[in-house]
Amino acid sequence: MEGTNDERLDFGKMGYGCKHYRRRCMIRAPCCNEVYDCRHCHNEAANMLKRIYDRHELVRSDVKQVICSVCDTEQPVGRTCTNCGVNMGEYFCDICIFYDDDLDKGLFHCDDCGICRVGGRENFFHCKKCGMFRQVLRVQTSQKTAESAEIAESVNIAKDSRECRDDYKRLKDLRRSDCD
């Protein structure tokens, strides 16, 4: 493939993949040695097998080989194709072995969860009190912005634990007092 490095990396972007992900590689499932567009495609096919004891699920992090969708080269997991140099996914996580060309999803790897997530890192946090992964509550206040923001960072939106519920109540009270 000829052209500039950027042209080569971007070739085929959003033009390959499956109903689950847009990306420029397929995976070889180590559990059954079959090639699929993604682990969801594998799991759907494997769970349709007639014999129940043949059914199985793919662990994404077990994948060691990928196949470039542009040039069909099988190779070890990596960001770019070793043969044609195409970027196999605009987003690539070498921990989860996850590729996706659709950056509009706001993909990021969460170390605390141990998986890749969607929605943008800046919009989520782990509650230090209950350990739950939650969406950041955006607070628009005037004088008490720093205190409100600090509480918002620690509040658990689902209010699963008593401490998180107490923080949530304090945050609501702060927001209410800002309006006075």
Residues 101 and 30 in one domain: yes
Predicted local confidence at residue 95, as pLDDT: 94
* Of residues 144 and 121, more confidently modeled: 121
Element (DSSP H or E) covering residue 165? helix 162-178
DSSP letters for 107-151: -EEETTTTEEESS-GGGEEE-TTT--EEE------STTHHHHHHH
**Model confidence band, residue 142 (pLDDT cutoffs 50, 70, 90):** very low
More confident residue, 102 or 111: 102
DSSP assigned state of 87:
B
**Residues 23-42, mean pLDDT to the nearest whole number:** 96
32 shares its domain with 110: yes
In this predicted structure, what is the pLDDT of residue 180? 41
pLDDT tens-place string over residues 42-78:
999 999 888 888 888 999 889 999 999 999 999 999 9
Per-residue model confidence (pLDDT) at position 143: 45
Which one is predicted more confidently, 67 or 123?
67
The per-residue pLDDT of the chain, averaged, comes to 80
Q: Is the pLDDT of residue 92 over 60?
A: yes
**This model's pTM is above 0.85:** no
- 3 state SS of 157: coil
Asked whether residue 74 falls in the same domain as residue 127, the answer is: no
Whether 88 and 164 map to the same domain: the answer is no
Least confident of 56-70, 91-105, 107-121: 107-121
Query: What's the rounded Cα separation, in Å, for the pair 160 and 60?
Result: 30
105/135 same-domain check: no
What pLDDT does residue 154 have?
47
Q: Give the total number of structural domains in the chain.
A: 2
Asked if 145 and 82 sit in the same domain, the reply is: no
Residue 36 is classified by DSSP as E
Question: Based on the domain organization, do 9 and 98 belong to the same domain?
Answer: yes
Mutual orientation of helices 145-154 and 162-178 as an angle, nearest 10°? Answer: 160
Q: What amino acid occupies position 55?
A: R
- Specify whether 12 is located in the same domain as 75: yes
The residue ranking higher by pLDDT, 180 or 109, is 109
- Whether the pLDDT of residue 126 is over 50: the answer is yes
- Shared-domain flag, residues 65 and 80: yes
Same-domain check for residues 112 and 55? yes
User: Does 108 share its domain with 136?
Assistant: no
| Domain extent for 153 | 122-178
pLDDT at 160 over 50: no
